[in-house]
Amino acid sequence: MARLSTYLFDLDGTLIDSIELIMSSFRHTMLTHRGAVPDDDDWRAGFGRPLRPQLARYARNADEVAGMVATYRAHNLQHHDRLVKPYAGIGPVVAELDDRGARLGIVTSKNRSAAEHGLRHCALDGYFDMLVTSDDVTEHKPHPAPVLAALSRLEARPEETVFIGDSPHDCEAGRAAGVSTAAALWGPFSRASLDPHGPDHWLERPEGILELR
């Protein structure tokens, strides 16, 4: 088996703890546009997908989708720095991988400006060689296209790459792209909900990333 040389990361729920912000922005958007808030679990099930198709499930037409996206993003930006933080232990792990000379990339369904803001705020922006965001591809997780784009940009071999994420969409996208997958159990998804998606590795804590082979 080839030794890992490339580490791809999801962002929200894997590197940065933005779950409270995401849920707060969703509830605010639903109250503003629909006057009621659907069950939290319904929104959580879409974690890992781009914002617009998630909100489209609740909208009556395209104009309302656009309004919901604007409301969500305004609330998200206003409260971002108060509610978002890196997961404990992530910073030193990423720094150690960088010191080892590993190639590091991010594959996220967030747009580029929001992803870059989150990385800067959490002091993680200096470590990653590239980002693939929702702005960069037309197919999104669980489709393999974002992971394949990251491999191409990094000139990385699938057999030497692991994709670390917290959601079923991450597991499915990584497997379809031919890389190994590692499920981050510090995010919002339980082991029971991730197990059917067959991750190659289970990570109880960020430090476990350094032990992947």
Looking at the domain 6-17+85-211, which fold is it?
A: Rossmann fold (3.40.50)
Q: What angle do CA 59, 138, 25 make, to 5 degrees?
A: 40
Q: Quote the CA–CA distance of 36 and 26 in Å, as a whole number.
A: 11
Topology adopted by domain 19-83 = DNA polymerase; domain 1 (1.10.150)
pLDDT per position as a tens digit, 14-40: 999 999 999 999 999 999 999 999 988
Q: What is the pLDDT of residues 125-152, one digit of tens each?
A: 999 999 999 999 999 999 999 999 999 9
Q: How many CB atoms lie within 10 A of CB 71?
A: 18
Reply yes or no on whether the pLDDT at 1 is more than 60: no
- What average pLDDT is seen over the chain? 95
Domains 6-17+85-211 and 19-83 share a fold: no
For the chain, domain boundaries: 6-17+85-211, 19-83
The percentage of the chain sitting over the pLDDT mark of 90, rounded to a whole number, equals: 93
Residue with tokens 């590239």: 130
Contact predicate 4/160, CB 8 Å: yes
| Residues 163-207 pLDDT 10s | 999 999 999 999 999 999 999 999 999 999 999 999 999 999 999
CA distance 1 to 54: 38
pLDDT at 2: 61
pLDDT at 49: 86
Cβ–Cβ under 8 Å, residues 34 and 207 = no
Given a contact cutoff of 8 angstroms between Cβ atoms, the answer to whether 105 and 5 are in contact is no
138 CB burial (10 A radius; 0-12, 13-18, 19+): exposed
pLDDT, one tens digit per residue, over 59-75 is 999 999 999 999 999 99
Name the percent of the chain lying above pLDDT 70. 99
Instruction: Give the catalytic positions in this structure.
Output: 10
Segment holding 70, helix H or strand E: helix 62-83
Residue at token pair 């491999």: 151
